[in-house]
Structure 1
Amino acid sequence: MSGNSENVTKLNVPDELREILLDLTIGYLLEQPSDIIDYAIEFFDKLKKSRNVQRAEDRSEESDGSDFESPPARYSSRRKSVFAETYNPEEDDEEEGPKVIFPKSDEQRQALATSVKNIFIFRALDPEQMNNVIDAMFDRQVRTGDVIIKQGDDGDNFYVIDRGIFEAYVIESDESERLVHTYENTGSFGELALLYNMPRAATIKAVSDGLLWAMDRQIFRRIVLKSAFRKRKMYEELIDVVPMLKALQSYERMNLADALIPKYYENNDCIIKQGDPGDGMYFVEEGIVNVLVTSDSGEQIKVNQIAKGGYFGELALVTHKGRAASVFASGKVKVAFLDVDAFERLLGPCMEIMKRNIGDYENQLVKIFGSKHNITDVR
């Protein structure tokens, strides 16, 4: 693998290709479409239409060409503003943490943590990075009628709603405004202009008094883009040590790395419970987990122990039956979680391997219980 990487680094990859692929990747991370190929086709189709529109507008010297539905065009012929510099997470050696910490009460931190953890683009952050996000946010009081962001302006901040009602409008070609979304005391906005180096794609107005939490664009991009980059690199390394995943092609491994979500457990925490429906599978990143089966007499018997590079929970997804074993953390444990939808979408090439493993697990149970014990998932 090291030989391949050396060859790749010698290739001269055009900046335009880098930017297009970065946009496609971030779009995929944000939207998590059910089919990556269909998503890519739609992405490039919209990109082509957007570029054709931009060229026509350039010829007619019209300045307004933003489209709320079109993919961001960092690589188009639109002149970039001073805010729209390219950010390459691979070349950023600075620390992720914010240089300025805005003080907050414990109550404010708790409420903000609850709001932030539900935002998709922050799902891949570890606890330290989440604390950096909360530290870096500052409050902004708003009044009815305030314009928070204006379509066509440079992106300066990302916003999380603490309270208040906000409406998003898009300016049509006839200069009329079309209401496209209403936020009521929850949600976030402003991330697309920061992620994609594009002007604001919509106008956000406050229709009530309220409170927003804002984050500076530079800190936002460093935390979000750099964490996404590091997450992919980290999970690609994890995938390399899982024998089953060697059946995946390179692009399939990258898609899998993007779909994995980190989860953390303390000693004796129950990760999956016998009898529960299968909601996903797990890859062990750090620590050890114990697999226990409850016998007919109610006794819990340890049937397996899984360390880094191992995985569990897959057979309930293959057999479409409930969990037939419980898994507990032994000490501090970090796992990468793959939900059932992503499992079905991404691990098709590994399905036959997982089905073959069912026989091995059943033989193990015969040795322990003297029968298969109706177990279909001891992992």
Structure 2
Amino acid sequence: MGSCLRTTSKSKIPVLPNHEGLDLSEAKAKLSRKIKQSMPDPRLSSDCKEPTDAKFAIVQDKSKSKADISFISAALTKHFIFNSLTEEQRESVINHMKYYILEPREVVFEQNSVGSTFFVIAHGKLEVIIDEKRVNVLRPQESFGELALLHDTPRSATVRTIENSSLWGVDRKTFRNTLEQINALNYAENRGLIESIPVFKILNNAQIESLIASIATNMYSPGQVIVNEGETGDLLYIIKQGSVICSQGEKDIKTMEKGDYFGEQALLYNSVRTATITAVENTKCLTIGRAELTKLFGTSLQLIVHKNSQRIAFDKNVYLKKLTKTQFEKLLNCSEIQELKEGEKAISEGIRKCDNIIVLIKGELQSEDGEIVYKVFDIIGLDEAIQAFDDIFQKDYYAKGDVHLAFIKNSAFFEAIGGDYHKVTTNNDAIKLLKKIPLFRYLSEEQFESLIQSLRTENFKNDAIIFAQNQPGESLFLIKSGRVEVIDKDTNRILRNITKDDYFGERSLLFDKFRSATVKAKGEVNCWVLYKSDFMRILDEKLKKLLMKRIELQDDNINIHDLYVVNQIGTGTFGNVFLVIHKQKKSLYALKAVNKKKVRAYEMEDNLLLERKILLQIDHMLISKLIKTFKDDKRVYFLLEYIRGMNLFDVLRKLDVLTVADAKFYTACIFLMLEHLHERDIIYRDLHPMNIMIDDEGYPKLIDFGAAKIIKGRTYTIVGIPPHYMAPEIITGHGYTLSADYWSAGIMLYEFLYAAVPFGEEENDPYVVYEMVQQGKFLFPPNADNKDKIKDLITQLLCKNPAARLGGTFDNLKSHPWFIGINWEKILRRELPTPYVPILPSILHDAEMALKNHKPLDEVITKAEKHDEIPKPRPVKEGFNVNWDEEFKG
């Protein structure tokens, strides 16, 4: 409802948790209710619901006079949703507003109904009724229903006309589409301008995205001086609209227009301005600051450009492309940059080529006679260093234009890569293959080293049987070269071919099983072989148990008819979740069943396909794992890892007070989850304590991917995250990226340490919370300290500039002083003590009863669905794929 219908109270400053002054259980119970009640299912679109606003009004697409536009604009300024819009965006929204004409005592909307329209009163009077009592009267230029522009929330009151009235209205879909179109065009234009500047061409996509998010826009009037000659500057300017004149002293040098830029040296060197720039007409400039970029990337732009240039050179080089990411980074960190001007000597005659590896990252080198010998991204001396040749340079070489060189000393090169190049890269090939195997993902560096030392090389001639079906399995094979056939001996059918850089036989390292097929060499085959006895020497008992559990989750040979329901463990808008047991293996799983009638009624086919696609990409110790999907005539099914435990929200209530060590552990786990997702371009969008389970060993697991999405660039959809955890850029509709998840993580970190959320702790009204989030102002408790720069970390994560939250990279984030002492690898191997291990009732009896007295799966699920409300299905649109569920086939 509009601000005139609401009383707003300021949130109190939270106090650090203590046993005397703060009732944590009451506070957390209140927050639990907020989270559960504040948002609908994130997958529900407003388009899935029938319109309920102003059903009997006459609606006109009326043209607006200047007076109308001014009138509406004045009403919009009362709401933060519109205050964050540019003038262009606000004008476009006003242009799309429709004119509603209503007679006396007509209902605009009813309390608890779900609507989608925001209204401004043009004429007349309306009454606001809550629980059948009039609480307010609204008059011209007042407005109401603004929360509907953000999401589906039940109306808090009934609004009814008192007399003949007219309203201006805009619905959520029109509002969001209008903003998306303008923002998408603006984003594309800004990106094009950024990418046209040479200094930025070397940046990767993530860095470009960060730049775009950090752009400021400034307007200059005719005759206004933008920069003065002789001043020290740290801003780059890009002309987006208008023109400027460039002058030195009293002399005009040139005119610059849209797409031109000036001040790029300021980003690299904080240099003195060499000219005065003055606006010729009304001019709009995009500006980027040196200090902002350093904060954004965690280092200077100059260093970013140098390192990116070296990476390009390394990627192009036949030798260096065989190095690992860690070896790459070590090489980058041991290089020294030298910058040369035109004609300066770069390399002297008589020096040994192998003494230094030289990477040409800018410009060209020429001999004394002017012949261009080395070009940008050439690497000089590498071949000689690797082959240990003693060749010397026969000539002097000089810079042609501005030249930047990266020098890596011979000794530093071999130290960075870890020893002899040929031995290191051979091991790298094996490691690359081993890391493709989920079984080895959680080994430590030391265990990997032992694994590599245990590999043996074996060669097989054409048609040689590598192993036969029904033989005991005792080894894993990694194919270095060649091809093998996997054959079913019983039918003599070729099941599949396996070639170079692939593997087979990994299950035999953990399980005493017979080979399920025969493997035969086709042509000469060269393999690395790892024997079970060698592998077992590397593992401790805890890691062995962990790996056995993970490899069991890779088993997709499960049939839905092999599953019996133990009990129901969850209910959602679309589906029900059941604990099921496999009748032979006795393994427990979670089975989510989604009714196809509901899917069709809410047009959720694409959402479910996306959820399946996302879950199939994820395999992480701290994230719920999808094992397989099924379908039948009535439903689609997700078979998931069963997480036996408690919700993190309930765990926080149990703990009452989190120690710093506990907060650090949970936060580190969250960042590892996000790192895994974001590396795959997956934004989670629903991060809060109720979507994290604490399992029976005390480790967190991220669940429920109904709001997740794969994005490259920006997305605009508002999803169902509770308002207290929602990033400001999601609320305003200007578009957001993966960094919206870091905001939610920052909210959770604050909550872990101070037992309160930083925005709207005492607010139940989502609109008020959104206003507070949008303002971005929060306070730390009076007795909070900044030990290990924890306040700085929280402030970084809750920065309104999304690009600044990560601090450049996940490695930068993980190396923040507050995380000193956290062993990230040990978290993944589940070797650290946990803050809380849930005490859980035994399910053994229920599981045994399910095996003895099982009922048909369909019968159990049908009973659970008995009271489900299923809306009338919408008409099928042209082009609808009736076989949309084909991918769910088990």
TM-score class, shorter-chain normalisation, is 0.3 to 0.5
Higher relative contact order (CA 8 A, sep 6+): 1
TM-score, structure 2 length as denominator?
Answer: 0.22
Larger radius of gyration: 2
TM-score, structure 1 length as denominator?
Answer: 0.43
Please state which structure has a larger fraction of its residues in helix: 1
